[in-house]
Amino acid sequence: MISRKMMTSLNEQINRELYSSYLYLAMAAYCQAEGMSGMAKWLVAQAEEERGHAMKMYHYLQEQGARVVLKAIAEPPAEFGSPRQVFEETLKHERKITAWIHELMEQAMREKDFATQGLLQWFVNEQVEEESIAADIVAKFKLVGSDARGLYWLDRELGQRGG
């Protein structure tokens, strides 16, 4: 059993993960419209991964006999300026998500909720990976600058990601 407060916090995080999924899907649609189909493919896969994160918390709440309550998902932007800005935004977004996960962990520690700490440890580790991958892509964008061949290569490279 988990506290009511923890239940509310995890429900809020489900909403943030679903928003992440929606945001990445919006970014994918933008990149596709910009002719960057490899980047779009990467972002669609990322959107699916975020839905998986939401579902992980969804199932956990149910296993704990707690109630899942879904709230409205905010509208993501449709324009991002450039593909490079899409990935800079991705990194910023992931850092924000990491901060929220850490806040949840702090709450679970305060409440001595060991089961939720176990769940959140998975997310803490996952965020290290999420940030590192996004930072790596941003670094590659900086490297290629506005070189068309470089961008073509980066698009192909990101398109290698499996769904």
The contact set with ligand OFO (CB under 6 A) reads: 17, 20, 50, 53, 94, 97, 130
**Residue among 152, 154, 162 nearest 42 (CA):** 162
| Residue 38 · residue 156 · CB < 8 Å | yes
**CB of 91 or CB of 151, closer to ligand OFO:** 91
**CB of 20 or CB of 107, closer to ligand OFO:** 20
Provide, rounded to whole angstroms, the least separation between the CB of residue 68 and ligand OFO: 17
Kindly tell me the burial class for residue 115, based on how many C-beta atoms sit within 10 Å of its own C-beta (0-12, 13-18, 19 or more). Answer: middle
**CB of 48 or CB of 106, closer to ligand OFO:** 48
**CB of 87 or CB of 151, closer to ligand OFO:** 87
CA distance 131 to 133: 6
Provide, rounded to whole angstroms, the least separation between the CB of residue 126 and ligand OFO: 6
Provide, rounded to whole angstroms, the least separation between the CB of residue 36 and ligand OFO: 20
Provide, rounded to whole angstroms, the least separation between the CB of residue 130 and ligand OFO: 5
Indicate the Cα dihedral angle 157, 56, 111, 126, nearest 10°: -10
